[in-house]
Amino acid sequence: MHEFSGFLLRASAIALLLQLGACGGRYDIGDRAEGGANASGGSAGSARTSEASGGASGKVGESRGSGGSVASGGSVASGGSSVTGTGGDGAGGASCANYQVDASMLAYGTLAAPEVANERIRLLLSDGMAGPFPAPPDAVTPGWAAQTVDAYLDSMLLSDLVPGGVERFMRSWLGLHDANVAQTLITSSGASFTRADGTFSQLIAPTEGTGLLQDPALNRVHTSISNRGAFLFPTLFCSTLVPPINTGDITGPIMGTPTLTRRQVLASVTSAPACAGCHNFVDSVGASLEVIDPTTGARRSVDENGLSIDASGTLSTVGISNFGRTYTFTSIDDLAPELASSCEVARCFVTSYVNEGTAALGLPALGNDELEFVITRFSDSHFSLRELARAFVQTPTFLE
């Protein structure tokens, strides 16, 4: 059943690719130098094969996620989550898992030695950052692993520090590989992992202030409309884009004129069928950030020529995933809350986190059941960032 469902999803992605495959995509994207796979999936050659394997294939709608299958069995000693979280997967609270996986369905083989398992958790969270860390246990259990995450994150919270491993993940997820870029954003976002009530929803659409996607520093890195869309789409939906095809004479950044905004100019030069398919898809979400000045990062309602900014649009992912939907917005300000409550965005975030973690530790990609277990726990905790880490370290792949 799950294999057939996965086949349907891939068929939908291929159908969309055929529709968009002629996309020129060359205009206005070049300043997204860091490109597609922010957290490319796991380790190749795993016995737990990937349902939607990592690499950036360059196809619209194809997942970069991890996956695979693993046998059932085992248990988690500590039981439920120690965090409650607020915000999350919409008002209904429905699960974002393709299928529910609880701890009793995970199968554990021979677990790693206590020193090995403890060091994995330390490197996942701290990335070798100096400072005290809980001692190895007498015996490795999933419950111990979750408690070790809590103990370390609690200590970081008391010390007002952001764990190095969280910073490593945030930079990978956002494609900010230069340690000198957007450090304030990385630190403030990473701090959410240490709080028991820190959630993904609060990262994207906090109840007070602006979210991560509206950050001035981030929007000075991603400056053009297409570039911003090419950043948002793979980062939030784990889908990659067809590489640009040289189909025209106009290259480089698109600039506005005294009578046309840069969005209008971009729409004009990408109106040919070979370009419009991809650009209509990507530029609609990229244009949501037009309310943020690409040079200063400041909020704006008019462009440099005094023309009114139109940041509205519609993005439909129906048919690309089990949780596809249509997002309609006037700007990033009302798109962000939709993204923050989206199951497909939440699933992408979880996949990015576990893929970055397994890659950093040299572990194979999680199997299907393991990934759905992590997503189940993440969803049930209303997108708690701490529960994401707790669930990941309890998987057989992490502990064996």
The string of pLDDT tens digits covering residues 67-85 is 332 222 233 233 333 333 3
Nearest to 54 by CA among 97, 229, 62: 62
Q: Residue 3 — pLDDT band, cuts 50, 70, 90? A: very low
Q: Residue 244 — pLDDT band, cuts 50, 70, 90? A: low
Supply the pLDDT for residue 243.
58
Supply the pLDDT for residue 93.
55
Residues in the chain: 400
Supply the pLDDT for residue 41.
36
Identify the residue with better confidence: 146 or 43: 146
Supply the pLDDT for residue 394.
98
Is it the case that residue 109 has pLDDT exceeding 90?
yes
Supply the pLDDT for residue 278.
84
Most confidently predicted of 176-185, 240-249, 373-382: 373-382
Supply the pLDDT for residue 276.
84
Which one-letter amino acid corresponds to residue 175? G
Structure tokens at 194: 């240490």
> Does residue 267 contact residue 282 with C-beta atoms inside 8 Å?
no
Can you tell me the mean pLDDT for 146-155?
97
Supply the pLDDT for residue 169.
97
Identify the residue whose tokens are 């480089």: 252
Q: What is this structure's pTM? A: 0.79
Lowest mean pLDDT among 63-67, 151-155, 370-374: 63-67
Supply the pLDDT for residue 363.
98
Q: Residue 31 — pLDDT band, cuts 50, 70, 90? A: very low
Domain range list for the chain? 1-400
Residue 330 CB partners (closer than 8 Å, separation 6+): 311, 312
Q: Residue 375 — pLDDT band, cuts 50, 70, 90? A: very high
Can you tell me the mean pLDDT for 189-193?
92
Lowest mean pLDDT among 40-44, 250-254, 301-305: 40-44
Identify the residue with better confidence: 24 or 178: 178
Supply the pLDDT for residue 246.
54
Residue 156 CB partners (closer than 8 Å, separation 6+): 162, 163, 194
Supply the pLDDT for residue 346.
97
Identify the residue with better confidence: 23 or 106: 106
CB atoms within 10 A of CB 210: 15
Structure tokens at 294: 């690409």
- C-alpha distances out from residue 259 to 219, 251, 264, 290, 338, Å: 24, 21, 10, 17, 32
Supply the pLDDT for residue 177.
82
> Does residue 101 contact residue 124 with C-beta atoms inside 8 Å?
no
Supply the pLDDT for residue 390.
98
Supply the pLDDT for residue 191.
93
Supply the pLDDT for residue 398.
98
Rg of the chain in Å (alpha carbons)? 21
Give the β-pairing of 313-316 and 326-329: antiparallel
Is it the case that residue 58 has pLDDT exceeding 60?
no
DSSP 63: B
Cα separation, 226 vs 286, whole angstroms: 6
Is it the case that residue 210 has pLDDT exceeding 80?
yes
Is it the case that residue 280 has pLDDT exceeding 50?
yes
Identify the residue with better confidence: 299 or 20: 299
Cα separation, 58 vs 36, whole angstroms: 8
Q: Residue 319 — pLDDT band, cuts 50, 70, 90? A: confident
Q: Residue 186 — pLDDT band, cuts 50, 70, 90? A: very high
Q: Residue 12 — pLDDT band, cuts 50, 70, 90? A: very low
Supply the pLDDT for residue 179.
75
Structure tokens at 125: 């969270």
Query: Alpha helix (H) ranges present in 159-222?
Result: 164-174, 183-190, 200-204, 216-221
